[in-house]
């Protein structure tokens, strides 16, 4: 488990569960808090972040210094760092959440039964959301804000690398909540319980209603496998693009380059191109040439290398790798069956796209590919809550239960059936 830890901590179960009990009590108040009350608290949080930028930076400097001394990788140190611009970004993110509509209380369906019972299915908060993440203080503010707007209490485990920063942020958030008349315990951290606290959080069925892991594929995998609490999995993307034999060359080039190059480090970026052998001699020189010009390293199978030698030989692990970099795997297949079989074997069920002008094959691809988002003639980069019109994104779910694909605020809620009667009994 990659939850970076320093010194062993003696786990105090009594105070741990007292904290979770306080989260539950806070969640009861939050569940019926008005949208105005929640928005006021969010505005108070945004202001507190802005007016305490100095304290946040001081705590962050302490984390960075300790991280550097502990040999934290430069990429992790960069994610951990908060400068003035990023702190302003935290406050802006909170205000973005204010602009989202409140999902709580929305009636999804309802009816009056023949016996006069009035039935309605209403959106309600989950209750208590746990979050386990690594060294990214912005997640502290993001998750707390999104959970607050959707009426949920939050228990945060941010990892020891950012413990000072997160401590200051959670303190500010709690003061702002109290100022706005909501329970301080609506947002709590369990960082002081160290790794045993993270493990206990995953076992705390009945105390935590849902757990959201954020971070490396390894962290997410650990939480998914270990947790007894239901998890919302925001998984990795080994994203495929299939260039069908009818694909128009220009469209194939544009979609491939945009999917791979626009932002290679995110989960909707392209990892593997599969091309039909009938069109490989036409498509590969143009598509891979344009990708090379953008600085992409092509990991090609033998048949692709025969057509496009400016590449490195693909190794079996390439097909299952989310590169997060300007690296791309390329494979030539002899049929759509073979392409679908490759995708079935190697996809992480995030996003898959086909470039084609053949309607039958387009529909077959949409029907048979088992991914959260399936596309025809579009860049895989469109798998995004903002692009989908959700206003903000809670993450991209790669699981099939509860939510699949880009999640908005409604995905942070459950439902409840409300039955109003006048003395009805069952016959």
- State yes or no: residue 399 binds its own copies (CB under 8 A): yes
Rounded CA-CA distance 280/304 in Å is 8
- Candidates 103, 127, 159, 183; binder of its own copies (CB under 8 A) is 127
In whole angstroms, the minimum distance from the beta carbon of 92 to its own copies comes to: 21
Paired residues of 211 in beta bridges: 130, 231
In whole angstroms, the minimum distance from the beta carbon of 368 to its own copies comes to: 6
Query: Among residues 222 and 311, whose Cβ is nearest to its own copies?
Result: 222
Write each residue from 207 to 246 as x if it is in contact with its own copies (CB under 8 A), else as -, in one continuous string.
--xx-------------xx--x-x-x--------------
Residues comprising the chain, all counted: 427
- Candidates 405, 407, 408, 409; binder of its own copies (CB under 8 A) is 405
- Candidates 50, 96, 254, 322; binder of its own copies (CB under 8 A) is 254
Q: Determine phi and psi for 270, rounding to 5 degrees.
A: -70, 140
Query: Among residues 73 and 117, whose Cβ is nearest to its own copies?
Result: 117
In whole angstroms, the minimum distance from the beta carbon of 377 to its own copies comes to: 4
CB 76 within 8 A of CB 135: yes
Sign for the CA dihedral angle at 355, 400, 151, 52 comes to: negative
Count the Cβ atoms, other than its own, within 10 Å of residue 360: 9
Residue with tokens 């702190």: 87
Which region among 69-77, 91-99, 177-185, 385-393 touches its own copies (by CB under 8 A)? 385-393
- Candidates 53, 62, 106, 119; binder of its own copies (CB under 8 A) is 119
Count the Cβ atoms, other than its own, within 10 Å of residue 169: 31
- Candidates 406, 407, 408, 409; binder of its own copies (CB under 8 A) is 406
383 Cβ partners below 8 Å, 6+ apart?
237, 268, 350, 351, 372, 373, 396, 405, 406
Count the Cβ atoms, other than its own, within 10 Å of residue 376: 16
- Candidates 111, 265, 294, 325; binder of its own copies (CB under 8 A) is 111
Which region among 8-16, 161-169, 281-289, 397-405 touches its own copies (by CB under 8 A)? 397-405
CB 102 within 8 A of CB 38: yes
CB 403 within 8 A of CB 388: no
Strands 239-243 and 327-333: unpaired
- Candidates 22, 98, 199, 251; binder of its own copies (CB under 8 A) is 251
In whole angstroms, the minimum distance from the beta carbon of 351 to its own copies comes to: 9
- State yes or no: residue 293 binds its own copies (CB under 8 A): no
Paired residues of 122 in beta bridges: 107, 416
How many chain residues bind its own copies (CB under 8 A)? Answer: 70
Query: Among residues 141 and 211, whose Cβ is nearest to its own copies?
Result: 211
Listed residue (215, 97, 76) closest to 146, CA to CA:
97
Rounded CA-CA distance 163/171 in Å is 12
- Candidates 255, 270, 288, 314; binder of its own copies (CB under 8 A) is 255
Strands 395-397 and 405-407: antiparallel
Binders in 316-375 for its own copies, by CB under 8 A: 344, 353, 366-368, 370-375
215: left (phi over 0), alpha (psi -120 to 50) or beta: left
CB 351 within 8 A of CB 268: yes
Query: Among residues 201 and 375, whose Cβ is nearest to its own copies?
Result: 375
- State yes or no: residue 420 binds its own copies (CB under 8 A): yes
Token pair recorded at residue 87: 């702190």
Query: Among residues 257 and 307, whose Cβ is nearest to its own copies?
Result: 257
In whole angstroms, the minimum distance from the beta carbon of 154 to its own copies comes to: 15
Rounded CA-CA distance 299/287 in Å is 14
In whole angstroms, the minimum distance from the beta carbon of 124 to its own copies comes to: 8
- State yes or no: residue 144 binds its own copies (CB under 8 A): no
Residues that bind its own copies in the complex, under the rule CB under 8 A: 24, 28, 31-32, 111, 113, 117, 119, 121, 124, 126-127, 205, 209-210, 224-225, 228, 230, 232, 248, 250-251, 254-255, 257-259, 262, 344, 353, 366-368, 370-379, 381-383, 387-389, 399-402, 404-406, 414-426
């Amino acid at each position: 488990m990659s939850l970076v830890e320093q010194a062993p901590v003696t786990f105090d179960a009594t105070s741990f569960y007292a904290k979770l009990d306080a989260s539950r009590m806070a969640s009861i108040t939050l569940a019926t808090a008005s949208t105005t009350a929640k928005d006021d608290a969010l505005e108070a949080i945004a202001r507190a972040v802005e007016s305490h930028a100095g304290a946040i930076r001081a705590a962050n400097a302490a984390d960075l210094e300790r991280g550097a001394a502990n040999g934290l990788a430069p990429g992790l140190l960069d994610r951990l760092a908060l400068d003035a611009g990023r702190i302003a970004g935290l406050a802006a993110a909170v205000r973005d959440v204010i602009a989202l509509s409140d999902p709580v209380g929305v009636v999804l369906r309802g009816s009056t039964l023949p016996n006069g019972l009035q039935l309605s299915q209403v959106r309600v908060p989950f209750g208590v959301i746990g979050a386990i993440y690594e060294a990214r203080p912005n997640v502290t503010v993001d998750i707390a804000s999104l959970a607050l707007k959707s009426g949920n209490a939050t228990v945060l485990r941010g990892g020891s690398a950012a413990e000072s920063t997160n401590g200051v942020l959670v303190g500010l958030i709690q003061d702002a909540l109290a100022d706005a008349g909501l329970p301080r315990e609506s947002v709590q951290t369990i960082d002081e319980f160290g790794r045993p606290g993270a493990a206990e959080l995953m076992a705390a069925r009945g105390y935590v209603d849902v757990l959201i892991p954020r971070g490396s594929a390894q962290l997410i995998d650990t939480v998914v496998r270990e947790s007894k609490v239901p998890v919302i999995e925001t998984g990795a993307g080994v994203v495929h693009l299939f260039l069908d034999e009818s694909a128009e060359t220009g469209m194939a080039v544009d979609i491939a380059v945009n999917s791979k190059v626009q932002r290679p480090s995110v989960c909707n970026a392209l990892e593997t191109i599969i091309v039909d052998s009938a069109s490989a001699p036409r498509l590969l020189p143009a598509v891979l040439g344009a990708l090379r010009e953008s600085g992409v390293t092509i990991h090609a199978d033998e048949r692709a290398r025969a057509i496009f030698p400016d590449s490195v030989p693909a190794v079996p692990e390439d097909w299952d790798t989310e590169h997060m970099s300007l690296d791309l795997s390329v494979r030539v297949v002899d049929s759509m069956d073979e392409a679908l079989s490759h995708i079935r074997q190697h996809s992480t069920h995030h996003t898959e796209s086909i470039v084609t002008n053949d309607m039958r094959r387009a529909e077959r691809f949409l029907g048979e590919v088992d991914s959260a988002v399936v596309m025809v003639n579009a860049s895989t980069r469109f798998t995004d809550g903002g692009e989908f019109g959700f206003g903000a994104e809670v993450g991209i779910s790669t699981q099939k239960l509860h939510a699949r694909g880009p999640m908005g605020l409604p995905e942070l809620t459950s439902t409840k059936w409300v039955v109003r009667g006048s003395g009805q009994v069952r016959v």
